[in-house]
């Protein structure tokens, strides 16, 4: 059993429902023994869209989550393709990714576009992202 310092928000961000969101929520709650709130937003902030690569910048989505939901652990799931800019690349290449989180930052984003809408793969990656964003602020209950 774990004690969380903030509630959990499962954010469906421009999500088309390729995988049942209730199923994903239930599996995350079962795996980590936490309760999640669900919120659905139709649009991803336009500031996150990179027209050169036709995908959304995952770092900007994390910034959006931190700004708009600071009182929650937030895991966003989207149907859109996401990517990150490779900083060491001279060309500023953008790499398509499955998900993105920063240890201890309390936000994560994952794309079912990259899981090919596979339920088991999606749940495994959600569980991994959850572990990363709560790593520093989870306290065991004795």
pLDDT tens digit string along 70-99? 999 898 998 889 998 876 555 567 788 888
Q: What is the pLDDT of residue 42?
A: 77
Structure tokens at 64: 């959006």
Q: What is the pLDDT of residue 33?
A: 79
Structure tokens at 41: 């937003």
Q: What is the pLDDT of residue 47?
A: 82
110 and 76 in contact (C-beta within 8 Å)?
yes
For domain 2-137, give the CATH number: 3.40.390.10
Q: What is the pLDDT of residue 19?
A: 77
Residues of the chain with pLDDT under 50: 1, 136-142
∠ Cα 102 117 121 (to 5°):
55
Q: What is the pLDDT of residue 90?
A: 55
77 and 114 in contact (C-beta within 8 Å)?
no
Q: What's the CA gap between 78 and 5, in Å, rounded?
A: 25
């Amino acid at each position: 059993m774990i004690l969380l310092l903030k509630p959990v928000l499962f954010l469906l961000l421009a999500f088309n429902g390729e995988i049942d969101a209730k199923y994903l929520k239930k599996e995350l709650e079962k795996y980590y023994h936490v309760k999640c709130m669900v919120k659905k937003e139709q649009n991803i902030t336009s500031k996150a869209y990179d027209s050169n690569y036709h995908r959304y910048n995952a770092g900007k989505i994390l910034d959006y989550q931190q700004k708009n939901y600071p009182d929650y652990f937030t895991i966003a799931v989207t149907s859109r393709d996401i990517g990150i800019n490779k900083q060491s690349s001279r060309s500023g290449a953008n790499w398509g990714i499955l998900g993105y989180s920063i240890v201890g930052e309390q936000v994560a984003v994952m794309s079912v576009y990259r899981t090919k809408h596979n339920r088991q793969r999606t749940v495994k990656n959600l569980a991994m992202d959850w572990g990363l964003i709560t790593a520093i602020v989870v306290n065991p209950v004795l």
